[in-house]
Structure formats: C-alpha cells, structure tokens
Amino acid sequence: MRTLKIAGVSVSVGMLLASCGSDATTEPDATLPVTSASPTVSSAASTTSQPASTIMPPGDLSIEAFADISDSPVSDEMAHDLQAALSEMSELSDGVGMSATVLSPAGTWSGTVGTADGVRDLSVDDQFAIASGTKPFVAAQIMQMVETGLLELDDPATDHLPPDFAFDTNGATIRNLLSQRSGLPDYEPSFLVKAEEDRTHRWTTEELLALVPAHRDPVDRWDEYSSTNYLLLGMVIEHVTGRPLSAALRDGVLSIDGVERVVYQPDEAPTEPMAMPYGESTEAAERGGGYLPSLAHASGGAGAWGIASDSPSLAHWWRALCSGEIVTQESLTQMTPEHDEYGFGVIRFPVSSPALGHPGVEVGYISWSACLPEDGTVIVVLTNGDVNDLFRLGEPLMAAAADSTEDATP
C-alpha cells in the first residue's frame, strides 16, 4: 500500500489530512489539553488509514448544480432529521461541540450541539478556527488573479515574489504550489513545537520560511501535503497586489455577501461569540492573545491556515465558490482534483456520494466543508474538539439531507 506522511499521520493515497497538527500520538502537557499543538483527532492514525482500493466517487463541480439552493428554512421534519444527525455525530465523538449548516434545494438549516466553553451552549454565530480550510480561499484568490491576467498557472513562483527573495522554491510554478506538487517540505512540524513555547508570539513569514527543511523532492509529483506551498502562495498574492493578504482576500474572494463572520487572523480578529478550543473556559482565548486558538497559531498560517468563521458564513462562501460567484466554471474545473489527488485547495472526500471540499485540523478545532454536486447541496461542520473520523465527518448530514430532499420532491 502506498502511503504518505501528512500532518504527521501516515495515510493512504487519497486521504488528505489538511491540518495544523503534528504527530497524532503526542502526549498532552498536564496544564493544557494539547500543548504540543498536536490535535489527536481521536485515533486519527487508525481512522484515516484506508485500503489502497478506496475509490473516490466521481463527480465534478458544475455551477449549474447549485443553482436551486433555497434560502428558505427547511421543513420542520427535515430540521428534526438534520439535528438528530448532528447530535449523533457529536455522540460518536464523545460529545464534542459542533456547529453545522446545510444549504440545499429543500432549504437552509443551521444547528448546534454541545457547549462553547463548558458552560454556554454553542450558537450558530460562534466562530471556530477552520485551520487548513483556509487553503481553498487562497487557491480561489489565485484563480481570480489568473482570470484577470495578473499571473499564469505555469509561471515560476519566483516571477511573482520579491527580487531579493532568497528562499529555494525548487523551481516550482504557481500550479505546483496550488496542487501540492512543488517538492517543498513542510514547515509545520517544526513550527508546531515552537508555537506552544510562546502562544502570543506573532510569527513573520521570514521566521516561518527559516523552519522549512533544506531537502527538496522532485517537482510535479504528489507525494506530500505541505503547508509551505500555501505559505508561498500567500506571499505571491501580497507581492502581486501590493497589499496584505487579509486585504487582498477581503476585496477578492471575501467581497461577497453573507461572509461577514469569516475573518483572516491575525490581521482580522475574531469576535464574540467564539467557541473555545476543546470547549475550555474563555480563559483559553485570553491565553492565546484573543485569537483562535492563539496568536502564534493564527500568524503561523500565513496563507496555509488562520481563518476563523461560523458555520453559516463558511457555508455561504462555499456556495458562492461552487455556484460560480467567486471564480468561473473554467477555474472551478481546474481546481477540482482527479480521483484521489489534491486539486487546487480542493479534495474529494471518501464518502458515499461525490463531495468536494476541504477539511482542517487545528489545536482544539476541526472543520469539514463540502459541495455535493449530485444533490446541489453545501454542508459545513465545525467542532471545538476531536472527532473519530475526520474525512467522513459530514456523511450523516449528507444522508439526512438527501433523504429529506427526496421525500420533499413531488
């Protein structure tokens, strides 16, 4: 079986752990739930390893597929079914707090289960760190720039970085960076150890690049998930636009309605209500400098992770992406991966029907976002704790939404 080392977890080809986490077996410090910055994802090493014969369902993202999403509330019966599915998902992961949104032709629904901080019940407005769920935003911003002629996919990355940029990009193109085929090793493992040494340190890109190991693998081969690729893409966006990444995103892929609760940390700060990592007390935010889960983690993403959002805002962004409001159909097709490979910030989830999106793992948080082209539905799940099966996290909601939609069809 061919396996890859992704975010510190060995998984088979097609299992993409988009995380801000290192070795899933690292023991937590006695004073914090996980001070090694290592989310456990509740036995991730066992639940993400799949047989080599795993086949991703076919299906591409077509903007027409999402044209019938209704903004009206779902029926009471469908709301009951979706809430029951969410409660079951939480129970299967030891009662972890969850917030979810479903946008479908049968209507729109958001629900929660569990607490934000061990005391207050979660609300649908609570913001969570979405971790590597940030990468699709950066990929879409790059595609917008391709559409307007600011760069081309096969341009060497160095063509769009400062002239005095001394980092060895391995000759990678923009396309190589987007699709995780640059041969550049990941800076995350070293970062994650250092981030817990000072949770309020604001990391610079120079400091992060200094953590990238010296070795380089062959270009244009999908072997390793590396957040270094998206660190560099963030720098490309800043250099080409002449603006901070947060401002470029806000005027680009975040310029749509309905995403006001999506914030790019640390330039934009999360606001109440906020879900605390692992459902800790609100002191967790204070220890982290007011960011989710901390200023160190938020600033360490630099294009690879860092966004915080509530579930409705994140779902509305994915709806806009998959319906052609953010990029064209041509760009969306290029972003879509073939089979079990990594696309441009998009993967195929190993679930029962086609689901394309991106997961994320952060200290105390999980995100799962997907567009379902066969159903014309968008589903987002956010948690403030570990889960038992990251890649199939949203499948119970998929089933409940599909059953209810079929029942409502004349």
pLDDT digits (tens, 9 = 90+) for 77-93: 999 999 999 999 999 99
Q: Which CATH class is domain 3-408?
A: alpha beta
Give the pLDDT of residue 9: 37
pLDDT digits (tens, 9 = 90+) for 62-120: 899 999 999 999 999 999 999 999 999 999 999 999 999 999 999 999 999 999 999 99
pLDDT digits (tens, 9 = 90+) for 165-200: 999 999 999 999 999 999 999 999 999 999 989 999
Give the pLDDT of residue 35: 27
pLDDT beyond 70 at 51:
no
Nearest to 41 by CA among 348, 363, 355: 363
pLDDT beyond 70 at 146:
yes
Would you list the domain boundaries of the chain?
A: 3-408
